[in-house]
């Protein structure tokens, strides 16, 4: 640990929204955001975001896990200048606790957010944008797609995303055969052949439903079909779906261990891999498995459906990785996303965002703590390396 130690600030924000975000597994009536800021004694501060978008009541729970479990253990272990090693040590330390408590997801998500904050901190110390810190020759341009298109208001949402500069669009499905079929056909007709269209079932279909819908999906000339089955469906079912669909299969946001990333893309015939930087592994594992995907000829398309800090981290890592694939940008209203990432999102042109040259993930508003609905600050200097 550096002389003088570190200070961690944990913040939960809750943003009311006028139009709920609908998925096959539930409805989001507000947009929660869980941020962790790690500041060193030299005046540098790095930011990370912990996945907590649904159910939103989990934001405060994860915040307390950071406060009482994760950050005290990180302070004891030290090694904050080496996020990948610290992530590995913390993962090993909390393995038994995860088994005992059943809290695999929340613990992994807290570790992922901390890992992102430490990478951002390291980049800021070097005075480099995160994408340049991760790969010196990386370009600031990153390809993106418009996500979160609800089953209602499809025309309005796609129209606004087209006007903003998007060229690829992901429609939520899994709301019944009639609704899904009508929305897929409408979106394809509205976009025409020059724009890419994807669908995301959010694990909302059975294999029988996919097979019965296959002809209509194939007729829509889709760029990919995302999570058509539940994550724990047999690999044979995923292979059967892959055989029935003309579009590639995409998944990965619900992968939760090294073994998932190492085996499931091949076992399930996934052409697109979609990890979430705030859900498992942070930037450390993000980079590792992005390179694996590239070696195996799979597109790397990071998932993100939260606030601005996690979105910027996802975009920077995608820019550092380069290659094919697109990063997800949710187009639903989200004040915490826009307060933090709005300036970067405004650079969108022809399906690409320019990340600029600011250090780390970029400028973060100084008043985030003042607007938090839950906040704790911890001084972590008591356990030197």
Q: Where are the domains of the chain?
A: 6-128+366-379, 132-354
pLDDT in tens, 12-64: 999 888 887 777 777 878 889 999 999 999 999 999 999 998 887 899 999 99
At which residue do the structure tokens 């073994």 appear? 259
Q: Sign of dihedral through CA atoms 64, 66, 70, 71?
A: negative
> At CA 254, angle to CA 161 and CA 314, rounded to 5?
50
pLDDT at 381 (0 to 100):
67
pLDDT at 53 (0 to 100):
85
- Report the alpha-carbon distance of residue 199 to residue 185 in Å, rounded: 11
**What's domain 6-128+366-379's architecture?**
2-Layer Sandwich (3.30)
pLDDT at 385 (0 to 100):
34
pLDDT at 8 (0 to 100):
97
CATH code assigned to 132-354? 3.20.20.120
Q: Tell me whether the CATH fold assigned to 6-128+366-379 matches the one assigned to 132-354.
A: no
pTM of this structure: 0.95
pLDDT at 26 (0 to 100):
78
- Report the alpha-carbon distance of residue 155 to residue 303 in Å, rounded: 23
- Report the alpha-carbon distance of residue 65 to residue 79 in Å, rounded: 20
Q: What are the Cα distances from residue 52, in Å, to 32, 60, 230?
A: 7, 9, 20
Helix (H) or strand (E) holding 261: helix 258-267
For the chain, list residues with pLDDT below 50.
1, 3, 382-385
């Amino acid at each position: 640990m550096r002389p003088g130690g570190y200070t961690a600030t944990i913040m939960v924000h809750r943003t009311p929204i006028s139009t709920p975000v609908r998925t096959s597994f539930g409805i989001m009536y507000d947009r929660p955001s869980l941020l962790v800021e790690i500041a060193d004694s030299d005046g540098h501060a790095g930011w990370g975001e912990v996945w907590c978008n649904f159910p939103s009541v989990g934001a405060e729970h994860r915040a307390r896990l950071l406060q009482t479990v994760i950050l005290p253990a990180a302070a004891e272990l030290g090694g904050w200048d080496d996020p990948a090693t610290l992530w590995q040590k913390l993962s090993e330390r909390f393995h038994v606790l995860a088994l005992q408590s059943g809290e695999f997801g929340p613990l992994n998500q807290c570790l992922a957010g901390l890992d992102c904050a430490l990478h951002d901190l390291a980049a800021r110390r070097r005075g480099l944008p995160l994408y340049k810190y991760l790969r010196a020759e990386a370009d600031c341009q990153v390809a993106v797609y418009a996500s979160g298109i609800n089953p209602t208001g499809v025309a309005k949402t796609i129209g606004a995303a087209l006007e903003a500069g998007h060229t690829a669009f992901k429609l939520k499905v899994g709301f019944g055969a009639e609704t899904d079929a009508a929305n897929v056909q409408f979106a394809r007709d509205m976009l025409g052949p020059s724009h890419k269209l994807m669908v995301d079932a959010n694990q909302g279909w059975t294999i029988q439903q996919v097979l019965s819908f296959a002809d209509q999906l194939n007729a829509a000339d889709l760029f990919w079909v995302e999570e058509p089955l539940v994550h724990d469906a047999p690999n044979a079912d995923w292979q059967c779906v892959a055989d029935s669909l003309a579009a590639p299969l995409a998944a990965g946001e619900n992968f939760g261990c090294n073994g998932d990333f190492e085996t499931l893309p091949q076992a399930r015939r996934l052409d697109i891999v979609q990890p979430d930087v705030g859900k498992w592994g942070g930037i450390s594992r993000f980079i590792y498995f992005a390179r694996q995907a590239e070696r195996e000829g799979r597109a790397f398309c990071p998932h993100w459906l939260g606030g601005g800090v996690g979105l910027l981290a996802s975009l920077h890592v995608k820019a550092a990785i380069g290659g094919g694939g697109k990063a997800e940008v949710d187009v639903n209203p989200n004040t915490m996303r826009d307060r933090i990432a709005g300036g970067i999102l405004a650079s969108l042109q022809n399906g690409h965002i320019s990340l600029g040259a600011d250090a780390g993930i970029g400028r973060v508003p100084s008043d985030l703590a003042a607007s938090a609905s839950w906040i704790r600050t911890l001084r972590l200097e008591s356990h030197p390396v």
